[in-house]
Structure 1
Amino acid sequence: MWRQLTSHWKLHKYSILLVLASIALYASFAYNLQREDFIKLLTLCIALFFLCYKIIQFQKWNFKFLLGVGVLFRLVFLFAEPNLSQDFYRFIWDGELLNNFKNPYLYLPKVLIEQKDLPIANAQELYNGMGELSPKFYSNYPPLNQLIFALASLLGGKTILGSITIMRISIILADIGIVYFGRKLLKNLNRSPHLIFWYFLNPLVLIELTGNLHFEGVMLFFFIWSLYLLSIDKWKTSAVVYALSILTKLVPLLFLPLFLTHFKFKKSVPFYAIVGITTTILLAPFYSSEFIANYSETVGLWFSNFEFNGSIYNIIKHTAISFFDAKPWELIKAYGKITPIITISIVLLFTFLRDNKNLNTLISSMLFILTIYYFISTTVHPWYIIFLTLLTLFTNYKYAVVWSSAVILSYWAYGQPDFKENLWFLFIEYSSVFAIILYELITQRNKKRLFCKN
């Protein structure tokens, strides 16, 4: 036994030291960081991205080592309260409502909190933790997300930390599932299976999903599982799983039209039917006459009321204000009406102008659609980039991995009054991303030309 440990140390001592350093930094991040301390936050993130790169570089063919390290990093956060996001308070609130047979899509927290007999554990603490905005709006989290919230509330022992721990475990299990199906999908696409660890060990993924309890990871688990099922021609089961992805987060709705040209009309109709039926069955318990209006109103706010880390929108906004004396509140509402039209047009262009029959092409179409959507969006939270980061691993593009590190600059706003953004930081973030995208597009185009000549 001692000889084995000694031998293992000699073979992997540098990697083990890097892992120990990472654990120390993640612990500092989880338990000793105030989000207003941007310098410390930025320093920790830069160090963690460097260590991630070196660990994968040294151990990229050692699956068990990287899997174990990724799980270990996640366990560091297990009992920490999220420090960059307060969304978890609303998650627990919605879960408590559901466990008390109240539809979270029909009740505003600011109204419920006035009831004397409100059957929600820690109601006042949860309400205060949500901040000023969330209590004013109906819940915008899809049904499968709500079920996870309810499970966390049920098993959390009526404590906030208990509910946090249950939610965190579900996110960790989802990430392990992504590694499992992601490696299989990479092999089926004739790509190196170690690439999945650029997701699994990515500091942004660990910080925002495991750390801050965003459920993109659960959505991506179902999404990657669905794509894997497509790769082995189990498209009916894939449709069911794809619906589960939508019912966790709505983003995969963007890609539904692409399946029309992936399957052609004859097979796409039953695929859409299965997605629709699965979605309807899981939506049915929440449905009421007010549900659609409330949910649509809340989702619509993201297009016309909120702004954070936007790129093209910020250019248009500051140009309009500087040269045309535009009013910001009027501009964002007008821009919010145009954005869905542009998004739908882009989706249709990629649907009918690309041959999406091949799974590689289908995934790259998804990548480009989501990238353009984020470029024109008014709000791009750091955890949104995680979807792109995972998608790029199945393509010849890597710009989203770079974006996952550059987006850390947007955290500057977290420590400022009214979340005031630093435009120079946004310029650095997006100029680096645009430059790498341009470089990769030119490189891929040249490779295709060379291949065609040969």
Structure 2
Amino acid sequence: MIFIKLYKIPLLFAILSIAFYISFGYDLERSDFIKLISLYASLFFIAYLLIEKFKLNFWFLAGFGILFRFIFIAAIPNLSQDFYRFLWDGRLMLQGISPYLFTPNFSPNAVEQSKILIEGMGALNASHFSNYPPINQLFFAVAALFAGKSILGSVIVLRMLIIMADVGILYFGKKILEKLNLPIKNIFWFFLNPFIIIELTGNLHFEGVMLFFFVWALYLVFNGKWFWAAVLIGISVSVKLIPFLFLPIFLKWFSKTDKSSQVLKTCEVPFQKLLSFYSIIGLTVLIIFLPFLSSEFIQHFSSTIALWFQNFEFNASVYYVIRWIGFQIVGWNIIESVGKILPVLVFLFVMGIAFLRKNNTPQQLLNAMLFAISFYFLLSTTVHPWYAATPLLLSVFTKYKFPIVWSFVVMLSYSAYGKDGFDENLWLVALEYTLVIGFAIWEIVFNQKIKPTRFLNLAGW
């Protein structure tokens, strides 16, 4: 009774969250956008109250985060069909067949329950080669190994792997925050965020597994253990390719000594260490990809990756403006041309950050990574909701909170999936990015009460 009296408010929050997560995981159709956004907004508000009220009680919040994840344990993902492709690829791997060489449509009877899996993943997914890197494929194969022909069993295995990765992020995220003398509660904007719980644990997206290896690597980098950090970054890239974007940003970290930093034991070393760092990352990736390497693999994998830049469109921001301008000028969709230019602009931006910005302290390095990934998604033609997990995690180690706002409004993109099929609401897309970009500008300029002429100094340029 004493416990209930002391904790009646958090227990009420927990009960409400449990009820909402159960409804979200087991009684929600993606096409019911009103119910989806209402449940999500309620969960987000409760998460905010929990974090603010119990910010000093780490284990209390951690326990809630783990509990909420296990609510989804037996739920079939209802917002994404991608997991059906995961199961397909995993079962191919278990038979010793490379998932990069055949599309499901080309080999419709290659695995058990082929018809169910192909129908589940959808015609578009089934018509393309797999673009999931080998470590990701390894996890898919583990699910096939332990769950056999059971779809639900495979889902549970994958979910357990993702939950363990999230716990690992909690562990290393806490350590980094302690080293940086930042509030420990920041990590719960990732770990207790309903966006992460729903998109990663609920819908089985592996951004969290990629981020676990990457945040572990960052912790090692900040403590001078660059060799094993490079190995972990190579593994992270072999889950999802996103960490490749951050590699140039390490240039100043390795080439200059930060004598003013009293926060961490840094690993500034001569320039040759940078080359060794990159070489170890490259060698790790090569070793992991080596069993699959062939001319067919290179052709299929690269062509599938190119689709994300030159064919697919979803929840984009700057690109949609460019597309509209293109229609006004030439009268057709210019995605094929623009899709080749935008990655070049991202590359130039990242290289600019790497060479012109001071990235020789942990805070500067993390800020640079947040700017890089945010710019990349700003110019992307396809931005699925779960992509926002990367800027969200990086933001907990910085003073910038616009990715938290993004983790809330990105769910507006699910309005595209109605009962009558796919129909993207561009007004809601515009609202999403107006809020995110507007809040980011407000944080950088107005909230910091800094004159525009001093902005570059603040950002570390």
Q: Output the TM-score relative to the length of structure 1.
A: 0.94
Q: Following TM superposition, by how much is the alpha carbon of 1:156 offset from its aligned partner in structure 2, in angstroms?
A: 1.0
Aligned twin of 1:393: 396
Which secondary structure state, in structure 2, belongs to the residue aligned with residue 357 of structure 1?
coil
**Identical aligned residues as a percent:** 48
Which of 283, 293, 296 is matched with 1:287 structurally?
293
Q: Where does 1:238-387 land on structure 2 (aligned, <5 Å)?
A: 238-264=229-255, 265-321=271-327, 323-328=328-333, 331-387=334-390
Question: For residues 140-289 of structure 1, what are the structure 2 equivalents within 5 Å?
Answer: 140-264=131-255, 265-289=271-295
Q: State the superposition RMSD in angstroms.
A: 1.6
Distance in 2 separating the partners of 1:90 and 1:33: 22
* 3-state SS of paired residue (2:224): coil
Work out whether residues 392 and 400 of structure 1, in 8 Å CA contact, stay in contact via their aligned partners in 2: yes
Helix, strand or coil: the match of 1:109? coil
Contact 1:84/1:212 (CA < 8 Å) preserved in 2?
A: yes
Letter in 1 for 2:315: N
Secondary structure at 1:446's aligned position in 2?
coil
1:3 counterpart residue number: none
Q: Which moved more, 1:92-101 or 1:311-320?
A: 311-320
Contact 1:89 / 1:129 at 8 angstroms: preserved in 2? yes
Counterpart amino acid of residue 63 in structure 1? F
CA distance in structure 2 between the partners assigned to 1:180 and 1:393 by the alignment: 14
How far is the alpha carbon of 1:449 from its aligned partner? 6.1
- Looking at structure 2, the residues matched to 241 and 267 of structure 1 have their Cα atoms a distance apart, in angstroms, of 16
CA distance in 2, matches of 1:126, 1:185: 41
Aligned-pair CA distance for 1:445 = 6.5
Task: Give distance in 1, aligned partners of 2:381 and 2:298.
Answer: 24
Distance 1:352 1:186 in 2: 26
Structure 1 position 326, deviation (Å): 2.3
Alignment match, 1:420:
423
Write the letter of the residue equivalent to 2:450. Answer: N
Q: Identify the residue that residue 37 of structure 1 maps to in structure 2.
A: 32
One-letter identity of the residue aligned with 1:295: F
List runs of 5+ in structure 1 lacking aligned partners: 1-5
Q: After superposition, give the CA deviation of every residue in 1:360-405 in whole Å (9 maximum; x if it has no partner).
A: 1111111001111111111111101111111111111000000100
Distance (Å, rounded) in 1 between the aligned partners of 2:340 and 2:304: 15
Residue 346 of structure 1 and its aligned partner are, at CA, apart by 0.6
Alignment partner for residue 11 of structure 1, among 6, 9, 24?
6
How many residue pairs get matched? 440
Question: Deviation digits for residues 319-366 of structure 1, max 9, x if unmatched?
Answer: 332x324212xx010110101111110111001010111111111111
Q: Deviations over 1:261-293 (max 9, x none)?
A: 211222101101111111111111111221111
Tell me how far apart the structure 2 counterparts of residues 135 and 381 of structure 1 sit (CA, whole Å).
19
**Residues 67-76 or 442-451, more deviating:** 442-451
Q: Do structure 1's residue 55 and structure 2's residue 58 form an aligned pair?
A: no
Q: Deviations over 1:239-271 (max 9, x none)?
A: 111111111000000011111221122210110
The one-letter amino acid paired with 1:128 is: E
Distance in structure 2 (CA, Å) of the matches to 1:349 and 1:449: 19
Q: Which moved more, 1:94-103 or 1:255-264?
A: 255-264
SS at match of 1:310: coil
What SS is found at the alignment partner of 2:417?
Answer: helix
Q: Which has the higher helix share?
A: 1
Where in structure 2 are there 5+ consecutive unaligned residues? 256-270
Q: What SS does the corresponding residue of 2:305 show, helix, strand or coil? A: helix
